[in-house]
Amino acid sequence: MKTLLVLSVWLFLLVVCWPVAIVALILWPVVWLLSLPLALIGISVAALLAFIRVLLFLPARLLGYRG
């Protein structure tokens, strides 16, 4: 559904102002490549926080708490 919406917006932009649509088409992979490191940082931080959570709840799980 999201792909259809993006395609529809891009086609509308192509009809209304085709130079902007072509520039957007060319710059989209560049923006994606620039945001990739931020996504990797987000995944790493989420994994680190999950690990810290497991370490903090370890004593309770060892004592038999099943929350």
> pTM of whole model > 0.75?
no
Give the integer Cα–Cα distance in Å for 65 and 45: 27
Which range of residues forms the domain containing residue 10? Answer: 2-62
| Residue 67 domain-assigned (yes or no) | no
The tally of domains found in the chain comes to 1
Q: How far is residue 7 from each of residues 23, 34, 39, 56, 59, measured CA to CA in Å?
A: 15, 22, 23, 46, 51
Read off the pLDDT of residues 29-61 as tens digits, 9 standing for 90 and up: 999 999 999 999 999 999 999 999 999 999 988
Give the integer Cα–Cα distance in Å for 58 and 54: 6
| Residue 27 domain-assigned (yes or no) | yes
